[in-house]
A and B are shown apart, each in its own frame.
Chain A
Amino acid sequence: MDPRVAVVGKRLARVRRVAGFCSAKGGVGKTMCTSVAAAALAAGGSRVGILDLDLQGASTHLFLGVSPRLPGEKEGILPLPVAENLSLMSVAVFTGERAMALRGSEVSDAIRELLAVTQWGELDYLLVDMPPGIGEEVLDLARLIPRMESIVVSTPSSVSIAVVERLLAVLSEMDVRVPGVIANMTRGNAGGVRELARRRGVPFAGEVPYEEGVEKAAGAPSRLAATGAAQALLRALAVMRYL
């Protein structure tokens, strides 16, 4: 018997909302959306945690300018402080920039361990940066955190839309709530993603136009919070009733 499952809810008991930034397609900007949204929410006074569950491609720490280091302990492990109101837990905390080759069951083990031993404390939002695909991370979190919502991200690319549509179908079958679909990296061409949301019967939360400045702001949460992407994401979060 796996004892860790019994305490996942307890560890998140003081977290008001849990949302995963998901997409079945890689490279659509999940990490950017998670990091920038978290930085913007924290800058506005909300208490925000980020859980980077992209175990093989952890990168939120790079986006946020966090140097990996082992966590502190207090009846569990403590997320790394990133900025005022903002904290992070990531596999990079333990592995640094080393690659970690993991097979399926061990991915599940790592997820369960992080959920069972991380003491988040009181948060308004826990944002989860999900890896691409519909694998262990999506399936485990849907089961272990039934109240978790999936904010779905797609670029306007027809390939991205086609792959994301499959994810939306699976999330619907699993009764995972989707508060909205975000069109990311748009250049005035969000129509396809808007149509995808309409077709799948989920809200279209808005678009985040492509912005070179985001890459330049990477490494500093205060700069990320000042980008146009941050404002666009806050508008999307408002549409999804997160604000």
Chain B
Amino acid sequence: MLCAMHEWALADAVIESTSAALGGRDPSCLRTVRVLVGELQAIDREIFDFALRTLLAERPFREAVYEVETEPAAFHCEKCAGEWVLSETASLTAETREAIHFLPEAAHAFVRCPRCGSPDYRVVRGRGVSIASIDLRDSAECR
């Protein structure tokens, strides 16, 4: 069941967040919402996009355009100052990938710096779902 997946909670967060940003303005003021989905969380884009469309259809700002882009994940080691990308990490089991999918910070239990082996690193980008921008028309341009 697509609607059972946890991507729905994230899509719901995007829609609710947009609604909050729109505030009391006319729904037609909302033009474009740019959403970033982090590579590390590895959400199912088909389910996420479907959830977004379904939840958006129930809202007064249903004509807004949601542009969803995948943001590549990158890590910075606090010990050796090395930086790496997800494809450079040691291979992860399906269960570990699923754990990170639910909670990206779980990566810290499984992933180590590929250069020095340190557990002390940061995910500098590409973690999870975020809203990069919300484009609103000037009030005079809204219906």
Q: Which of chain B's residues have a CB closer than 8 A to the CB of A91?
A: 103, 105-106
Q: Could you say which residues of chain A place their CB within 8 Å of the CB of B14? A: 3
Establish whether residues A102 and B105, one from each chain, have CB atoms under 8 Å apart when the complex forms. Answer: yes
- Beta-carbon contact of B17 and A6 below 8 Å: yes
Nearest chain B CB to A128 CB, angstrom units:
17
**Contact residues of A with B, CB < 8 Å?**
1-7, 10-11, 55, 70-71, 73-77, 91, 94-96, 98-103, 105-107, 109-110, 113-114, 116-117, 119
Closest to B21 in A: A1
Contacts of A10 in B (CB 8 A): 12, 16
Within the complex, what minimum Cβ distance (angstroms) separates B65 from chain A?
A: 17
**A76-B17 in contact (CB<8A):** no
Which candidate, B24-32, B56-64, B82-90, B129-137, is the interface stretch facing chain A? B129-137
**Chain B, 27-66, contact with A by CB distance < 8 Å: what is the 0/1 string?**
0000000000000000000000000000000000000000
Instruction: Determine the distance from Cα of A110 to Cα of B100 in the docked complex, in whole angstroms.
Output: 11
Contacts of B134 in A (CB 8 A): 1
> Given A6-B13, A10-B16, A113–B120 Cβ distance below 8 Å?
no
Q: Is B20 an interface residue (CB 8 A)?
A: yes
Task: List 22 contacting pairs A-B, 8 Å CB cutoff, sorted by A.
Answer: A2-B130, A3-B14, A3-B18, A3-B129, A7-B16, A70-B99, A75-B6, A76-B8, A77-B6, A94-B99, A94-B100, A95-B106, A95-B110, A98-B109, A99-B119, A100-B106, A101-B108, A102-B105, A106-B105, A110-B103, A116-B10, A117-B9
Which residues in B have their C-beta under 8 angstroms from that of A103?
78, 120, 122
Interface centre among B5, B99, B105, B110 (most CB of A within 10 A): B105
In residues 100-120 of chain B, which contact A (Cβ within 8 Å)? Answer: 100, 102-106, 108-110, 119-120
A12 CA to B122 CA, complexed, in Å = 30
A3 contacts across to B, CB distance below 8 A: 10, 13-14, 16-18, 129-131
- B contact face: mostly helix, strand, loop, or mixed: helix
| Distance between B98 CB and nearest chain A CB, rounded to angstroms | 6
Question: What residues of chain A lie closer than 8 Å to B126, measured between beta carbons?
Answer: none
Q: Smallest distance from the beta carbon of A34 to chain B beta carbons, Å?
A: 20
A117-B109 in contact given A1-B21, A3-B130 (Cβ < 8 Å): no
Measured in the bound complex, the distance between the Cα atoms of B13 and A117 in whole Å is 9
Query: What are the nearest 10 A-B pairs in CB distance?
Result: A76-B9, A3-B17, A95-B109, A98-B109, A6-B17, A94-B106, A110-B105, A6-B16, A3-B13, A94-B99
Does the CB pair B9–A7 fall under 8 Å? yes
Q: How far is the CA of A74 from the CA of B16 in the complex (A)?
A: 18
* Chain A: minimal CB distance from B97 (Å): 11
Residue of B nearest to A4 (CB): B13
Q: A77-B6, A116-B13 are in contact. List 5 more A-B contacts (CB 8 A).
A: A4-B10, A7-B17, A91-B103, A109-B127, A119-B9
CA distance A101 to B113 in the complex (A): 12
Asked if B109 and A116 sit within 8 Å, CB to CB, the answer is no
Interface residue from B21, B102, B108, B122 paired with A70 (Cβ < 8 Å): B102
Decide: A71 and B16 in contact? CB cutoff 8 A. no
- A73 & B17 in contact (Cβ 8 Å cutoff): no
A75-B16 CB under 8 A given contacts A3-B131, A100-B108: no
Q: Is the Cβ of A94 less than 8 Å from the Cβ of B103? A: yes
Q: How far is the CA of A68 from the CA of B111 in the complex (A)?
A: 19
Name B119's contact: one of A94, A101, A109 (CB within 8 Å).
A101
The interface residues of chain A lying within 8 Å CB-to-CB of B4 are: 73-75
CB contacts (< 8 Å) of A114 on chain B: these are: 103
CB-based nearest A residue for B128:
A113
